[in-house]
Amino acid sequence: MMEMTGHEHTKDTASIVSRGEPAKDGPSIMSKIALALAVLANILAVIALILVIVSVANQGDNLFNITVPSSGGTSGGNGATNGANNGADNGDTGMTTTRNSEDKIWLLQVGHIIANIIYIDESTGIVKGYLIDVVEALCQIANKNCQIVWDIPERCWTSVAGERPRGGEGLLGRWYDACIGWVHTYDAARTFIFSTPLVQLPKPGFLIKANSTEFTYPDFTGLRVGFLDGWTTDEYCLDRYQDVMGFDPTDATRVTHFATAPEIIGALIMDQVDVVFSPPLPPLFSHPALQVAYIENTDLCNIGGAGLMTQKDQVELVSWFNAAFENLKATSRYRDICNNLLTEHGGQPGARPGEAVCV
């Protein structure tokens, strides 16, 4: 065996080192650059996500944060009296917007399309109208955080032909705190409580196909009667009118419910029903293929006009809501809402002026 000289030992050792793992002097420049790019990519991803969330939140959203007078009122007031006093003059003074320190957000459902009272602005996806303007003002006056929730009307109140109307699964199941725009009826009063009316109460009437001679009030003998599902002008209300003849609210062969105004219009035109009992909704009462046969002199369907409907244990909600509305009516803000109703929301079919809506 040949003995390794010192020179050869050194050379071989260097060769071994060059073929082994590199000396650990810390990450290379390329590694540092790759790490920095990865961090930057994560930051950009987070920013993009935030922008998407903000964009979605700003579309179709009706979130009413509380407002307090800029002269020094304080936010976070709990209770109707404190909240109402904080915002009583919000139609007449400058305001600053802040978030209520109270964590509770009151979820208020709307689902009806009613001319300029409630409608969806298709350009923004936001629910608008007289009732939305009023509710926004009331939440600010009462110093409450409120969120408008859109859902089908039947989840607040529903009815089926031949059966008593009843509460909808949404309100009964507490999906939201209250439903807005519902008329105070005898049937609903057995299940829910109501605020003071926010809208005038129009009298119901009867529609027939144009030039039809089948119906002469108050004789309903042999006639098929149509009703809008979930509305107060149902078969049991019609039966309350003492002069009505030949009508049985339990006869499912003569009582038909329809989910929408277009459906009930089509049923009249196609002779599927002979007469419709309905509130004076513009899509129905202004339709050229229909005619108004009779308007009742009194309203036996309702106790009061449209307002807030909620569970019977929601006394606090009704209390601050009513107190705020009394304060709102005393301000110029409510007068402006009413006077500008056609200007702000007049582009909707069947739009009514403030004097026909405001209380």
Of 46-55, 209-218, 255-264, 301-310, the range with the lowest mean pLDDT is 46-55
**Rounded to the nearest 5 degrees, what angle is found at the Cα of 110, between the Cα atoms of 278 and 325?**
95
- Strand pairing report for 145-150 and 275-278: unpaired
What's the mean pLDDT when you consider all of the chain? 81
pLDDT of residue 76 exceeding 50: no
pLDDT at residue number 79 = 35
- Backbone angles phi and psi of 154, in degrees to 5: -60, -15
Confidence bin at 358 (pLDDT 50/70/90) = very high
Percentage of the chain beyond pLDDT 70 is 72
The rounded distance, in Å, linking the Cα atoms of 136 and 155 is 23
pLDDT of residue 230 exceeding 80: no
Mapping DSSP to helix (H, G, I), strand (E, B) and coil, where does residue 29 land? helix
pLDDT at residue number 184 = 93
pLDDT tens digits, residue range 102-152?
A: 679 999 999 988 889 999 999 999 999 999 999 999 999 999 999 999 999
Confidence bin at 58 (pLDDT 50/70/90) = very low
Residues 6+ positions from 75 with CB-CB distance below 8 Å? 66, 68, 86, 98, 99, 100, 101, 143
* Residues 343-349, mean pLDDT to the nearest whole number: 88
Four-point Cα dihedral 312, 315, 316, 318, nearest 10: 90
- Per 3-state DSSP, what percentage of the chain is helix, strand, and coil (rounded to 5)? 35, 20, 45
**Residue 5 carries which DSSP code?**
P
Give the residue with greater pLDDT, 346 vs 246: 246
pLDDT of residue 6 exceeding 90: no
Q: Model pTM greater than 0.85? A: no
The rounded distance, in Å, linking the Cα atoms of 250 and 259 is 19
Prior bond to 218 cis, omega within 30? yes
The rounded distance, in Å, linking the Cα atoms of 185 and 163 is 16
pLDDT of residue 24 exceeding 70: no
pLDDT of residue 175 exceeding 90: yes
Look up tokens 């005393």; give the residue: 330
pLDDT at residue number 25 = 54
pLDDT tens digits, residue range 184-224?
A: 988 899 999 999 999 988 889 999 999 999 999 999 999 99
